[in-house]
């Protein structure tokens, strides 16, 4: 069904039937429930803190012995926040936090080359996101600090991290 056909269908529906249909969607589909829960009570700070706790738990687990260090956990939160329409400053904060916690993790452990490659992807994404959303000036010092830490820890792909920063200048 096209958007136009949906608009026509919805405009012909009586208000009561439309309310019932929305309530049915709310109970049947978790994504709809999540959207409406966020739309009517956007506790963004709480969502961000929960995300940071779960990202931190990936690298420094509380209940299990071995860290998983999966970038995908942070990526799922970031995509979810973008879909919900969370403020760009908060999304960029989570993106930077993911890189910072990963850097802390890499100081204490030997990690595979694939880890550095995925962190490079995250670094590129945070730069693109902040520039596209117009919040880069708010995060410039934090991003440069992340870059300098990669240099200090002598991460592989140093040149690629440098190129990522060159894009903004």
Who's near 152: CB < 8 A, 6+ residues apart?
none
- Helix (H/G/I), strand (E/B), else coil: 169: coil
pLDDT digits (tens, 9 = 90+) for 96-113: 999 999 999 999 888 888
Query: Domain extents for the chain?
Result: 1-41, 43-166
pLDDT digits (tens, 9 = 90+) for 55-102: 999 999 988 888 888 889 999 999 999 988 899 999 999 999 999 999
Backbone angles phi, psi at 56, to 5 degrees: -60, -40
Task: Tell me the Cα Rg of the chain.
Answer: 20
- Helix (H/G/I), strand (E/B), else coil: 68: coil
pTM for the whole structure: 0.83
């Amino acid at each position: 069904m096209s958007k136009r056909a949906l608009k026509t269908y919805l405009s012909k529906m009586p208000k009561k039937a439309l309310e019932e249909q929305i309530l049915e969607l709310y109970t049947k589909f978790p994504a709809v429930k999540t959207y409406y829960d966020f739309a009517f009570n956007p506790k963004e700070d709480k969502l961000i803190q929960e995300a940071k706790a779960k990202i931190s738990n990936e690298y420094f687990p509380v209940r299990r012995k071995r860290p998983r260090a999966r970038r995908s956990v942070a990526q799922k939160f970031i995509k979810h926040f973008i879909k919900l329409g969370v403020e760009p400053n908060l999304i960029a904060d989570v993106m930077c936090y993911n890189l910072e916690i990963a850097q802390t993790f890499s100081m204490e452990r030997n990690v595979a080359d694939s880890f550095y490659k995925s962190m490079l992807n995250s670094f590129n994404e945070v730069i693109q996101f902040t520039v596209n959303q117009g919040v880069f000036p708010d995060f410039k010092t934090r991003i440069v600090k992340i870059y300098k830490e990669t240099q200090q820890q002598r991460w592989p792909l140093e040149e690629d991290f440098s190129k990522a920063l060159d894009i903004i200048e």
